[in-house]
């Protein structure tokens, strides 16, 4: 009976695992019939810092932007590397992967790099940095400098590289307070030049702050970026998108925060046609709610309890008790959000734990060798098996997810 309750709850909640709140841009995401196999994406969303205050909604920013890349822009899941709460080495490795891909395609592929998290200037304001979750605001060199980032991207052979930065480089947090306690005023970091076929669209300019949009549970910049992609079904040029987002963010920031926030574009001399770059050639027209559970929930097979087709067709959903629903909901969300504790797994059977552990692999496109696991996760629209290489799936996991895989496995014994 407990297992049936767990499976019923999992089916109802599995599409909510990666986000915290439901807003208009998070639901009914259009799906593009035309695939774009020659575009590759790196997404880094840093929210939970070890040494600094968190960045509100950064994980939601990255998670939802990944959905738009995959669904609305038609970019295959295997072309998208998503790195939530990335360390400095995580960030560097994603650039190494992108460099290899661009060289393999010999200038016939495009790249999109998205970042949401803390940004900061050096003390002298001559350089700007993206701060990894293991970085220190008082030690700028613990971050990835935009000079290094733009230089690396500019050296890659590509049809075009779009960099989207929901961060500011004034030393301020999203709440407007300063990152480093020793720094009492914002610093205007020097604007780094870009080379190659690269265009950079940043959330704020000069000594401004990149603010959150509290009501929508996103960064203000990312919310309006997603809104533009949603309204146009992805079929929008970089020029139109930057004009629209700049206008809307500039206005919304004054209304919401009573402060200025002005997105800005930096393009290399070689990218004189960047305004005509299209995110998708054809508009996505089919809507799909990425969080909506199937209307009819009748799993034919599960990895932990095999039932006959006749039993599945006649089975009635078990209504869980309110207390148990809350417990299972918390565990399902926690496996992606923080390191688990033994108390989080209290009361779950070995079979329950197996589903939770493999859910992390499923989220990263692992193609299960066991038919029962494969059949179970194939029920969900978010499951898109890419590779049977477990190491590839592990390589895309965050530190938290890798820890939880090992932690759950230990409790299965």
Whole-number average pLDDT of the chain: 79
Tokens of 259: 């402060």
Please give the average per-residue pLDDT across 157-161, as a whole number. Answer: 95
pLDDT band of 381, cuts 50, 70, 90: low
> What pLDDT, on a 0 to 100 scale, did the predictor assign at position 314?
33
- Taking 50 as the threshold, does the pLDDT of residue 323 lie above it? no
> What pLDDT, on a 0 to 100 scale, did the predictor assign at position 66?
96
- Taking 70 as the threshold, does the pLDDT of residue 236 lie above it? yes
> What pLDDT, on a 0 to 100 scale, did the predictor assign at position 28?
85
> What pLDDT, on a 0 to 100 scale, did the predictor assign at position 60?
93
* Lowest mean pLDDT across 92-101, 133-142, 170-179, 294-303: 294-303
The residue ranking higher by pLDDT, 79 or 9, is 79
How far apart (Å, rounded) are the C-alpha atoms in residues 205 and 259? 13
Most confident of 1-5, 112-116, 385-389: 112-116
> What pLDDT, on a 0 to 100 scale, did the predictor assign at position 297?
28
How far apart (Å, rounded) are the C-alpha atoms in residues 229 and 237? 10
> What pLDDT, on a 0 to 100 scale, did the predictor assign at position 100?
97
Q: Mark 349-373 as b/e (b = at least 16 C-beta within 10 Å).
A: eebbbbbbbbbbbbbbbbbbeeeeb
CA 238 to chain CA mean position, Å: 20
> What pLDDT, on a 0 to 100 scale, did the predictor assign at position 330?
58
pLDDT, tens only, 160-205: 999 999 997 765 554 545 444 322 333 344 567 889 999 999 998 8
In the numeric block, the tokens 């610093």 are attached to: 187
Q: Which residues pair with 115 in a beta bridge?
A: 44, 165
> What pLDDT, on a 0 to 100 scale, did the predictor assign at position 182?
28
Report the percent of the chain where pLDDT is more than 90: 47
pLDDT band of 318, cuts 50, 70, 90: very low
Q: Which domains does the chain have, with CATH numbers?
A: 2-14+293-412 (no CATH), 21-286 (3.40.50.1460)
> What pLDDT, on a 0 to 100 scale, did the predictor assign at position 295?
30
How far apart (Å, rounded) are the C-alpha atoms in residues 243 and 355? 45
Tokens of 48: 């939970």
- Taking 90 as the threshold, does the pLDDT of residue 376 lie above it? no
Please give the average per-residue pLDDT across 315-341, as a whole number. Answer: 55
0.95 surpassed by pTM: no
pLDDT, tens only, 382-404: 777 878 888 888 877 888 888 98
- Taking 50 as the threshold, does the pLDDT of residue 347 lie above it? yes
pLDDT, tens only, 252-292: 999 988 889 999 999 988 777 999 999 999 999 755 444 33
> What pLDDT, on a 0 to 100 scale, did the predictor assign at position 126?
79
Q: 3-class secondary structure for the chain? A: CHHHHHHHHHHHHHHHCCCCCCCHHHCCEEECCCCCCCEEEEEEECCCCCCCCCCCCHHHHHHHHHHHHHHHCCCCHHHEEEEECCCHHHHHHHHHHHHHHHHHHCCCCEEEEEEECCEEECCCCCCEEECCCCCECCEHHHCEEHHHHHHHHHCCCCCEEEEEEECCCCCECCCCCECCCCCCCCCCCCCCCCCCCEEEEECCCCCCCCCEEHHHCEEHHHHHHHHHHHHCCCCCEHHHHHHHHHHHHHHHHHHHHCCCCCCEEEECCCCCCHHHCECCCCCCCEEECCCCCCCCCCCCCCCCCCCCHHHHHHCCCCCCCHHHHHHHHHHHHHHHHCCCCHHHHCCCCHHHHHHHHHHHHHHCCECCCCHHHHHHHCCCCCCCCCECCHHHHHHHCCHHHHHHHHHHHHHHC
Angle between helices 88-105 and 146-154 (to 10 degrees): 20
Tokens of 55: 């960045």
In this structure, what is the dihedral angle of CA atoms 173, 176, 177, 180, given to the nearest 10 degrees? 40
> What pLDDT, on a 0 to 100 scale, did the predictor assign at position 207?
77
Q: Which residues pair with 39 in a beta bridge?
A: 110
Contact 4, 316 (CB under 8 A): no
């Amino acid at each position: 009976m407990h297992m049936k309750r767990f499976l019923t709850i999992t089916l109802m909640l599995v599409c909510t695992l990666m986000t915290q709140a439901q807003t208009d841009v998070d639901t009914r995401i259009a799906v593009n019939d035309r695939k774009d196999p020659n575009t590759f994406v790196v997404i880094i969303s840093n929210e939970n810092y070890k040494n600094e205050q968190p960045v509100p909604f950064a994980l939601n920013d990255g998670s939802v932007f990944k959905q738009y890349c995959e669904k609305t822009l038609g970019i295959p899941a295997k072309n998208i590397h998503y790195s939530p709460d990335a360390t400095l080495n995580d960030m560097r490795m994603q650039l190494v992967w992108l460099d290899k891909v661009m060289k393999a395609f010999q200038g016939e592929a495009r790249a999109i790099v998205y970042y949401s998290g803390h940004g900061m200037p050096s003390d002298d304001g001559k350089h700007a940095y993206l701060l990894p979750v293991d970085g220190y605001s008082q030690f700028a060199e613990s971050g990835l400098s935009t000079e290094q980032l733009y230089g690396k991207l500019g050296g890659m052979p590509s049809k075009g590289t779009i960099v989207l930065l929901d961060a500011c480089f004034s030393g301020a947090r999203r709440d407007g307070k300063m990152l480093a306690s020793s720094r009492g005023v914002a610093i205007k970091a020097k604007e780094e030049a870009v080379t190659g076929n690269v265009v950079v669209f940043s959330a704020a300019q000069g000594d401004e702050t990149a603010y959150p949009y509290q009501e929508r549970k996103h960064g203000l910049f990312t919310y309006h970026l997603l809104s533009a992609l949603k309204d146009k079904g992805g079929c929008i040029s970089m020029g139109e998108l930057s004009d629209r987002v700049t206008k809307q963010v500039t206005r919304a920031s004054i209304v919401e925060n009573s402060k200025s926030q002005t997105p800005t574009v930096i393009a290399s001399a070689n990218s004189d046609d960047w305004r005509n770059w299209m995110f998708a050639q054809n508009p996505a027209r089919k809507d799909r709610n990425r969080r909506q559970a199937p209307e009819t929930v009748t799993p034919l097979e599960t990895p932990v309890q095999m039932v006959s087709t006749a039993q599945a067709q006649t089975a009635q959903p078990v209504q869980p008790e309110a207390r148990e629903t809350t417990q299972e909901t918390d565990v399902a969300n926690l496996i992606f959000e923080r390191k688990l504790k033994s108390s989080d797994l209290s009361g779950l059977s070995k079979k329950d734990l197996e589903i939770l552990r493999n859910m992390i692999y499923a989220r990263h496109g692992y193609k299960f060798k066991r038919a029962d696991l494969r059949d179970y996760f194939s029920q969900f629209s978010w499951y898109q098996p890419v590779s049977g290489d477990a190491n590839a799936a592990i390589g895309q996991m965050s530190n938290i997810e890798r820890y939880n895989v090992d932690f759950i496995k230990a409790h299965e014994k």
